[in-house]
Every structure is written in C-alpha cells, then in structure tokens.
Amino acid sequence: MKLLLFISALFTAVPALAKDDVTLASAVFVERAVTAPNGKTSVIREEPKLITPGDKLVFVLTYNNAGAAPAENFVVTNPIPASVSFVASDSSGADLSVDGGKNWGVLATLKVKAADGSLRAAAATDITHVRWVFVKAISAGSSGKLSFRGVVR
C-alpha cells in the first residue's frame, strides 16, 4: 500500500506560481543500468512500476507558454517526496530549501538545526523543496524542461 501511495505522490500536479497561459507537466522516471548482449552497459529511463530503496529517480518538469504574451515572474516549486532523498547535482540553477520552502539557497549555504539545537551544514538528504525562478520571461510559444534527481530512501 505504501508503494502505491508513493507512486501516486510522484505523479501529483507540480505546485507552481503559473501565470498567464503557462502549463506544467511532470513525469518521474527510474534510471537503470542495462547490459546488452555484447557486454556494453547503458543507462535507460523507464516509467516506475516497482520502486525499491536505492532506485535512482529523475523528475522531469515540462513547461509550455501557450499564450500570446510572454510570461514574466514565472516560478516553479516542487516538493521532494518524503520517501525520496534529493541528489545534489547540477539542477540547472535551482534554489533549494530544507525547511519546507520558507528559506531558499544553494546547498552550500543552507543550515539545519540539529537535535541539540545547534546548526549544521545541510546535506542533500535534508532538501525538502526545489525551485526555479525564471529571470527572463518565457516567450509566447516557448517550452522547456527542468529536472532534478533523487534516490528512493
């Protein structure tokens, strides 16, 4: 049952401050190493059918401005499911949060309160949300993709 809830949580709508006629779609893929008959190994992405701890996930967010005007001040915010650890990698200029989206920054600048009340440097496993703030307007008719990675806890 938990597995079904987890998978359905992965496919819920992406929260965003979507202005104008910009639409968002989200997809989640599992990355797996596959060895071909010739012994060559490659990484493939497939839709998740069975998720197990340690599985590598790729979250892909697609945006499209179907409007006639540019979309300005566009922000996409995506929570990290509790059963997924964010993987610190190139997340294309995304801001990160370790406190449910109250404060944002790059991982190296974030702090987390330890059990004893002291502050410690945040780790990728502490990330609760990822956010992209578009500095430039999304021109009419344009689309693009954002992505980030995670590992099933």
Q: Is the pTM of this model over 0.75?
A: yes
CA distances from 23 to 26, 29, 127, 144 (A): 10, 20, 25, 11
Chain-centre distance for alpha carbon 33: 21
DSSP class of residue 18 equals -
Q: What is the CA radius of gyration of the chain?
A: 17
Chain-centre distance for alpha carbon 148: 4
Largest CA-CA distance found in the chain, in angstroms, rounded: 55
Domains of the chain: 2-152 (2.60.40)
Over residues 15-24, the pLDDT tens digits come to: 444 455 999 9
**Separation CA 71–CA 82 (nearest Å):** 31
CA distances from 2 to 8, 53, 82, 86 (A): 10, 12, 12, 20
Task: Report the percentage of the chain scoring pLDDT > 90.
Answer: 80
State the pLDDT at residue 20.
59
Strands 41-46 and 143-152: unpaired
Average pLDDT of the residues in 125-137 = 95
- With a cut of 80, say whether residue 14 has pLDDT above it: no
Q: Are 111 and 120 in contact (CB under 8 A)?
A: yes
Query: Higher-confidence residue: 11 or 137?
Result: 137
Over residues 51-82, the pLDDT tens digits come to: 999 999 999 999 999 999 999 999 999 999 99
Residue 146 buriedness (CB in 10 A; 0-12 / 13-18 / 19+): buried
